[in-house]
Amino acid sequence: MKYPDKQAFGAHSPSTGYSDAAKTAVQQTTLRVKEMHGAIADQTFDVLRRIPLISWPAQLVQVTHDVISSGVYAVIHHGSGGLLEAAALMEKHHTGFSSGKPPGRFASGLHSALNGAFGDHLAASNSVLAINMAIQVNGAVVPLATDALRMAFPEAGQRLCVFIHGLGCDEHCWDPDEGSAESASHFGRQLEAELTYTPIYLRYNSGLPIAENCARLAVLLDDLLAAWPQPASELVIIGHSMGGLIALGACDQATASGMHWPQSTRMLICLGSPHLGSPVERLGHLANSALNLTKITAPLGKIAAARSQGVKDLRHGPGAAQAPSESPSIAFRFVGASLAKNGDHPFGKFFGDGLVPLSSAIAHQIDGDVQSATFGKLGHMGLLNDSRVYRQIREWLAAPGDARIPAES
């Protein structure tokens, strides 16, 4: 695969914000409703035109109906467009999409969810809402330059742990919620305190095709290690859900292209990654296909089909994980979860963590240093902060006989 130019990432000038996104959504929804209305009306008038004596009056009524309905939908389309264009202008002047004050967790989460659902459309339309893949610290992008990295990570050591979120999320997903149980773990902080790994959090547009995000991540990690203040650093990658798929794909592509960072990568850990796909997206695809079976529901099918390519890529997944071609000595770890207390229970195997079946999360065709672990009574998002998962990660990362790390009781 040919890699994109590094300078191409984030090189465009974003042009639209939330108001413009709302304008597109309102106008597209209005168009779909108009199409559905038209399909229902056409079916009704088609029947009336076949009835003797009222065929001609029915044609007159249909002409009148079409003129009036077209006018109404035109008013809604252009009226909403005008109002939201004015809102967009105010938004740019007063809220600005500036690099001043970073957004809070809620705004950031909404932004990332929007990218998960429609990120490829946002990127294609040059929207300011399209997320550019980057390292984030406190909501701000960290340039991949040595001075900037040294300032952002003043305690930078030779051990790096890159955390990669899943679909529709951002780096805040690794923070336990305020109301979480006391047993919840903050993986990054604990790995830094106990194993001296510097936690690094990635944010990316999860609505883009998975292969495209793989290519972008491969380039970013190469630049990151090249600019990192400490030379000869060791890299660990922990990816949740889609993040694990992207990490595996990036490793494969980087190895094939002769990049250096896979040689510095000690371990790649996938938490609940749907290697064999997610049944939720397969169900969504079936529902979309069903909606397209009739003219009346076809407009709804168009709305459903507007979901991002990143989401669609999860229908079948990339297949069982495989070691990169000409694989460096990377250790691979796979974690799956089950809502059932016992992961071997048929319910637990089928439903898995609620989004990803166990068989999909731990599927691999890798020889060498590879291990898997499964946990019961745990949902998909619980994998991000569960203390049992952290203890397993810690055990994998702690070198045997490391005096700094006491053995688990």
CATH number for position 227: 3.40.50.1820
Domain carrying residue 42: 18-96
Contact 235, 221 (CB under 8 A): yes
Q: Indicate if 246 and 205 belong to the same structural domain.
A: yes
Q: Let me know if residue 109 belongs to a domain.
A: no
**What is the number of structural domains in the chain?**
2
Q: Is residue 405 part of a domain?
A: no
Do 126 and 67 lie in one domain? The reply is: no
| 7: its two tokens | 């300078």
What distance in Å separates the CA atoms of residue 150 and residue 146, rounded to the nearest whole number?
A: 6
Rounded to whole angstroms, how far apart are CA atoms 40 and 33?
11
Residue 116 near residue 206 (C-beta atoms within 8 A): yes
DSSP 171: G
Q: Which of 61, 96, 131 is the last residue of a domain?
A: 96
pLDDT at 246: 96
Q: Give the residue among 197, 186, 133 at the shortest CA–CA distance from 164.
A: 133
Same domain, 128 and 243: yes
pLDDT the model gives residue 18: 54
Residues 40 and 166 in one domain: no
Do 254 and 204 reside in the same domain of the chain? yes
β-pairing verdict for 134-137 and 198-203: antiparallel
| Pair (90, 123) in one structural domain | no
Which one of 42, 63, 96 terminates a domain? 96
45's tokens: 């008038």
Whether residue 67 is found in the same domain as residue 129:
no
Query: Treating both helix axes as pointing N-terminal to C-terminal, what angle do 242-256 and 210-227 enclose, rounded to 10 degrees?
Result: 70
Q: Taking the CB of residue 304, how many other CB atoms lie within 10 A of it?
A: 17
Q: Both 81 and 153 in a single domain?
A: no
Final residue of a domain: which of 96, 130, 146? 96
On whether residue 378 sits in a domain, the answer given is yes
Picking from 269, 138, 157, 250, the residue whose alpha carbon sits closest to that of residue 203 is 138
CA dihedral 301, 307, 312, 314 (to 10 degrees): -130
Residue-level pLDDT at 38: 59
The first and second tokens of residue 90, run together, are 């105010």
- Report if residue 123 sits inside a domain: yes
Same domain, residue pair 199 and 60: no
**CB contact set of 298 (below 8 Å; sequence gap of 6+):** 35, 39, 291, 292
- Asked if 47 and 61 count as a contact pair (C-beta separation under 8 A), the reply is no
Residue 50, in any domain of the structure? yes
The verdict on 23 and 166 lying in the same domain is no
The ranges of the chain with pLDDT < 50 are 1-14, 32, 65, 73, 75-77, 79-84, 87, 89-91, 93-99, 281-294, 296-305, 401-409
Kindly state whether residues 249 and 206 are assigned to the same domain. yes
* pLDDT at residue 143 in the model: 96
Other CB atoms within 10 Å distance of the CB of residue 85: 12
Measured distance CA(260)–CA(14) in Å, rounded: 32
Give me the residues paired with residue 164 across strands.
202, 239
104 within domain boundaries: no
> How many angstroms separate the CA atoms of 164 and 215, rounded?
14
Residues whose CB is less than 8 angstroms from the CB of residue 86 and which lie 6 or more positions away in sequence, other chains included: none
Single pTM value for the model: 0.74
Q: Is residue 211 part of a domain?
A: yes
Q: Is residue 105 part of a domain?
A: no
pLDDT of residue 47: 61
Same domain, 34 and 90: yes
Given a contact cutoff of 8 angstroms between Cβ atoms, the answer to whether 305 and 288 are in contact is yes
| pLDDT given at position 88 | 52
